[in-house]
Every structure is written in structure tokens, then in C-alpha cells.
Amino acid sequence: MSRWMGKLKVFVLLSFAALVLSACGKENLTALDPKGYGAQDAMNIMVLSIIVMVSVFIIVMLIYTIVLIRFRQKKGQEDYIPKQVEGNHTLEIVWTAIPILLVLVLAVPTVISVFDLADTTEASSSVNVEVTGNQYWWHFNYEGEEIQTSQDLYIPVNQKVYLDIQSSDVIHSFWVPTISGKIDANPENVNTMFIEAYEEGVYWGKCAELCGPSHSLMDFKVVVVSQEEFDAWVEDMKNVDAEEVPQDAVAQEGKELFEANNCMACHAIGSSPVATGPNLTNYANRTSIAGILEPSKENMVEWLMDPESIKPGNKMTGNYPSLSEDEASSIAEYLMQLDHSETTPDSAGN
């Protein structure tokens, strides 16, 4: 007996500990604190299903506990043979019917919201972005705007943004937990879904389908800004001049090295459609380097010197001559000066 109570205690404690843990998921990463259309929809269903599940579980455990307390073999009962009951139709009907009802309670809202989330009829009157998953970075092409970016997706707040998602190599999955559920990026077709964020901010995005060694490092961000800031950003991004002369000599040298090492073969600056590697426009305003490192010059240098040690299996490794620390530093300086827009992740912060 006491053993079972002990087990129960451990169990209750554990669940409690886990609940406390859950409360402190990282803001703008956790799905438990939804700030977008899809995430909110999912949350509603989760809450509903948790209620159903907990009630079912309580009933099961109630019977279970009673059984274990009342029907243990007592001393002197070794030869006692209980009545051999075959079954009971009423009971069996009850525990068939109630789960059917509960399942219906879950099924109806699920189907409704599945259709709601798949509704793309308003796509033509909104922002449309072509999203391409690559090993191991994300590319964004604003349809009809001649804007190409990578890794940071800027969207306006409180508006449905339609994403046409595809992959250039293996399957990836586009997931921004706090804003919306995920959808796969397949190589052979375009998947369309919309996201709508209710609050400005920088949201973590993750790749959710195993895509190779650096799958866990394929992070990106969604930067949600006000409509005005977004419009300004669009304006800025449309008028990027790739030939722009850098402000100082180091950066100038960096620019020359950038060109000399043929970085342009893969990386575009401006709206050029080259997309073998991430588009570097507006690089100074990136939330991170390679999706995971703090945006600092040291980190940039480290990346340029040895990308393999940071993202194993990435496609940049070995595709350019190795750089000395000075060279890398100059290139970093150049890139960190590519400040093409007034709208930055900080704009989303206020």
C-alpha cells in the first residue's frame, strides 16, 4: 500500500515540477505563450484536449486506486476464489459510448480549424513571400517586390502573410512556434500557409525536419514590425545599391576581398536572384550570424575562417580560398556595414 502512495507522490511532484518548468519557456520561442493566429488556434485545441485528457485520466486513476486498495489479496485469503465474472453489457456500452462522445468533442473543432488554417483565398491581397529551405539556411523572396533576403523574415504585425514554401534540396520544415504551427518545405511542390503575428517582436524560427548534420542549427527569425516600419523597410530594400562604396578603407578592402574570392558566385547583395548561399543585403541588421551566433565581428571572423566547425556539413566550407585572420576581419567589417534599412530588429522591440 504505502509503496503505491509513494509512487503517487513522486508522480504528483514530478508533474508539478514539469508544470513549473513549462511556465518559463523562452519568450518568443515557446508554443505555450502564443502570439499569432496559428499558434493561438493550436493553443485552443491543446487546452480543450488537455481538459478532456485530464478528466479521462482522473477517472482511470480513480478506478485504478480503488481496485488496488480494495481488492488486494489479504492474509488468509490464499485459497479464496473470487467470482468469475464474464462481463457486463451496460458497463461495456458506457465505456464505449463516452469515449466516442469525447472524441467527437475533439474532432469537430479540429476539423473546423484545419479548414480555417488552410484557407488561402485572401492571399492575393496580402504580402506574399516565397520561402526556400536550404541546407542549412532560409531564403525569402517577397513576391512582386524584387526583395530577396535570407535568415530574417520581416513581416507587418496583425496581417496575414502568405508563405509559399519549398525546398531546394532535402525536406525541411518551417516552424515559428510562438506565431504558428509548422509546414514542410518539400522539394517537389509548393506548400502555402499564412502566418499572422499579434505582437511586434523578434520570433525564433526552427527547422523541424531532419535535414542533415546541422539540422539543429538551421534557425531563423521572424521580425514583426508595425505596418509603417514594414513599408519603410520595403522601400529601403527595393533601393539597395550593391555598388555602394564602403565608408572606410578596411571595409573597402573587405569589399575587394569579397569580390576577389568570388563570394558573389553564391551570395548576392541587393535583389539579384542568386541564391546558392544566403543573400547578404542589410547584413548589418541581421539578428544573428549563420542563424545561431551573436552578431559580432569576432563571430563573423570565426565563421569566415572555419564555417565547418560551426555548422557541420554546410555548403560554404571548401568553396572559397582559405582566409587569413586579417582578410576575414576586413570582409567582416565590410559586411557589418551593409546597413540598408532604418527598420531593424530593434524596431520590433518597442
Q: d(Cα 58, Cα 334) in Å, to the nearest integer?
A: 62
Amino acid of residue 169: D
Q: d(Cα 301, Cα 329) in Å, to the nearest integer?
A: 6
Q: What is the DSSP string of 168-193?
A: SSS-EEEEETTTEEEEEE-SSS-EEE
Coil, strand or helix at 115? helix
11 scored as a contact of other proteins (CB under 8 A) = yes
Q: At what angle do helices 249-260 and 325-335 cross, to 10 degrees?
A: 110
Q: At what angle do helices 89-117 and 37-70 cross, to 10 degrees?
A: 170
Q: What is the DSSP string of 197-217?
A: BSS-EEEEEEE-S--SGGGGG
118 scored as a contact of other proteins (CB under 8 A) = yes
Residue closer to ligand HEA, measured from CB, 139 or 182: 182
Tell me how many residues contact other proteins (CB under 8 A): 98
- Minimum CB separation of residue 224 from other proteins in Å reads 17
CB under 8 Å to 147, separation ≥6 — which residues? 141, 234, 237, 238, 271
Among 129, 153, 217, 338, binds other proteins (CB under 8 A): 217
CB under 8 Å to 134, separation ≥6 — which residues? 167, 168, 169, 172, 275, 315
85 scored as a contact of other proteins (CB under 8 A) = yes
Residue closer to ligand HEA, measured from CB, 68 or 260: 68
51 scored as a contact of other proteins (CB under 8 A) = no
- In the complex, the residues that contact ligand HEA under the rule CB under 6 A are 56, 60, 99, 102-103
Among 91, 245, 273, 350, binds other proteins (CB under 8 A): 91
Provide the mask over 282-321, with x wherever binding to other proteins is found by CB under 8 A and - wherever it is not.
Answer: ----------x-------------------xx--------
Residue closer to other proteins, measured from CB, 18 or 245: 18
CB under 8 Å to 74, separation ≥6 — which residues? none
CB 128 within 8 A of CB 120: no
61 scored as a contact of other proteins (CB under 8 A) = yes
Lookup result for grid cell 488552410: 118
13 scored as a contact of other proteins (CB under 8 A) = no
Residue closer to ligand HEA, measured from CB, 176 or 328: 176
Among 133, 156, 177, 345, binds other proteins (CB under 8 A): 177
16 scored as a contact of other proteins (CB under 8 A) = no
120 scored as a contact of other proteins (CB under 8 A) = no
Among 2, 21, 75, 76, binds other proteins (CB under 8 A): 21
- Minimum CB separation of residue 61 from other proteins in Å reads 6
331 scored as a contact of other proteins (CB under 8 A) = no
Partner interacting with residue 51 (select from ligand HEA, other proteins, none; CB below 5-8 Å by kind): none
Among 152, 196, 219, 253, binds other proteins (CB under 8 A): 219
With CA atoms as reference, report the closest residue to 310 among 175, 219, 221.
219
Q: d(Cα 198, Cα 264) in Å, to the nearest integer?
A: 37
- Minimum CB separation of residue 349 from other proteins in Å reads 17
The 8-class DSSP code of residue 86 comes to -
121 scored as a contact of other proteins (CB under 8 A) = no
- Minimum CB separation of residue 275 from other proteins in Å reads 17
CB 261 within 8 A of CB 320: yes
Residue closer to other proteins, measured from CB, 141 or 214: 214
Q: Which of these ranges, 115-123, 228-236, 255-263, 319-327, lies near other proteins under the rule CB under 8 A?
A: 115-123
Residue closer to ligand HEA, measured from CB, 108 or 265: 108
Q: How many CB atoms lie within 10 A of CB 11?
A: 11
349 scored as a contact of other proteins (CB under 8 A) = no
CB under 8 Å to 347, separation ≥6 — which residues? 225, 226, 229
